[in-house]
Chain A
């Protein structure tokens, strides 16, 4: 079944298939990966595809790109059931589920403008992962939604 649905949005040659994304979160996944189409990336998106495991799911396929651990960590916050498939030469060479990390370091920027991590200090942002969000380890600010808008690009 899953293979059929994956076919529906086309095979990729080299890159990453992010499967079992929580239904409706595909665009946020793209935001986390900083993909808005303007960079010319070849991306396929399936939304609200039937899934045996999670009811309705989204699928994102990105040609020519393998995800960093930091990106996967943040993905896990909005799509805890996601699987990451690394594709090389049309074959899935690696397949793993995302895991919620204990903390995400250097990926999100703190939304509190008065937080020391937003200053020019030699320190990475650091967020503790909670059951329902993340929390800045320095100033305590909570982020419970719209993680994608806090991604520290570059």
Chain B
């Protein structure tokens, strides 16, 4: 057994990550598979995320399995006040593994303590999003390798769970992480603690200009309107932490630009046609990576 559950990116060693990515490479093609025909994946999405959900649905169906879905929260027993602990113990009786998306941090970890089937964390509040991280790493490995890299991570670093998970996972590799954000959205102390403890090479910046020429990868995330009390302040910050063709004049020719999507204004669509754009490939990689993960867990 590889791991019982997938709860945080922190649980992965370098070998764990390489196991998933190597297997994902085997699944990365047009062929389907039938090795998990009898498997049912329980989808428990306590907040909407159509893409993450569809990506898990696609992955299990391409392995020959199927899903059961508790539906939207408003129409389920959760709206009647059932605890998460009870919900997962009921669905455990139906499904071979549970995929949980929940607004509260630590929800997946708690759920894993109540069930014997694998729990996969598909995002818990501002906490973790480990399967996104695995597909991010797969994409980085395909484009730039996973060592001797300078990786820029820009945007909302405070609330962005994809950033937290990616930063933790990258401590397994020889990379320098450059965090670029307004001070009000800098990495939270808990993530910084993990990076320091792992001895990671980390630099924090409030602007992209000085660091851009060194970067092999630039991971852009969305800054959300609701993080700012006023519209003008938001606009100023959003434009400062967005990129267009002009921004990239000093970038390396082989800079990969990534984004967990959906994007709003932070990457100018003019970049889509350049070799820098890696975000759609990144989104596609969610399928082979989640197939690999399910194959290891089921």
Number of A-B contacts (CB under 8 A): 57
Q: Quick check: which of A77-85, A87-95, A134-142 contacts chain B, the rest being far away?
A: A134-142
Whether B105 contacts A123 by the Cβ 8 Å rule is no
Whether B190 contacts A123 by the Cβ 8 Å rule is no
Chain A residues with CB below 8 A from B124, complex form: 116
Whether A138 contacts B105 by the Cβ 8 Å rule is yes
- Tell whether B228 is near chain A: CB-to-CB under 8 Å: no
Chain B residues with CB below 8 A from A114, complex form: 103-105, 125-126
Whether A115 contacts B105 by the Cβ 8 Å rule is yes
B104, closest chain A residue (CB): A116
Q: How far is the CB of A70 from chain B (nearest CB, A)?
A: 20
- Tell whether A52 is near chain B: CB-to-CB under 8 Å: no
With A116-B110, A121-B110 in contact, is A139–B105 under 8 Å at CB? yes
- Tell whether B63 is near chain A: CB-to-CB under 8 Å: no
A119, closest chain B residue (CB): B104
- Tell whether A39 is near chain B: CB-to-CB under 8 Å: no
- Tell whether B106 is near chain A: CB-to-CB under 8 Å: yes
- Tell whether B113 is near chain A: CB-to-CB under 8 Å: yes
Whether A121 contacts B84 by the Cβ 8 Å rule is yes
How many residues belonging to B are interface residues under a CB distance threshold of 8 Å? Answer: 21
- Tell whether B261 is near chain A: CB-to-CB under 8 Å: no
- Tell whether B205 is near chain A: CB-to-CB under 8 Å: no
- Most-contacted residue by chain A among B104, B126, B189, B191 (CB, 10 A): B104
A123, closest chain B residue (CB): B110
* Dominant SS among interface residues on chain A: loop
Give B153-202 interface residues, CB cut-off 8 Å to A.
189-191, 193-194
Whether A120 contacts B83 by the Cβ 8 Å rule is yes
Q: How far is the CB of B199 from chain A (nearest CB, A)?
A: 16
Chain A residues with CB below 8 A from B109, complex form: 116, 137-138
- Tell whether A76 is near chain B: CB-to-CB under 8 Å: no
B103, closest chain A residue (CB): A114
Give A124-139 interface residues, CB cut-off 8 Å to B.
135-139
- Tell whether B144 is near chain A: CB-to-CB under 8 Å: no
- Tell whether B120 is near chain A: CB-to-CB under 8 Å: no
Residue in contact with A115 in the complex, picked from B83, B104, B113, CB distance below 8 Å: B104
Q: How far is the CB of A135 from chain B (nearest CB, A)?
A: 7
Chain A residues with CB below 8 A from B113, complex form: 123
Residue in contact with A116 in the complex, picked from B107, B126, B190, CB distance below 8 Å: B107
* Bound form: Cα–Cα A142–B102 in Å: 21
- Tell whether A112 is near chain B: CB-to-CB under 8 Å: yes
- Tell whether A16 is near chain B: CB-to-CB under 8 Å: no
With A116-B110, A140-B190, A142-B190 in contact, is A123–B85 under 8 Å at CB? yes
A110, closest chain B residue (CB): B106
Task: Give 23 A-B contacts (CB < 8 Å), ordered by A residue.
Answer: A114-B104, A115-B104, A115-B106, A116-B105, A116-B106, A117-B106, A117-B110, A119-B84, A122-B85, A123-B113, A136-B106, A137-B106, A138-B106, A138-B109, A139-B125, A139-B127, A140-B105, A140-B106, A140-B127, A140-B194, A141-B190, A142-B190, A142-B193
> Apart from A114-B105, A121-B84, A142-B189, what 5 extra A-B contacts exist at CB < 8 Å?
A112-B105, A114-B125, A117-B110, A120-B83, A139-B190
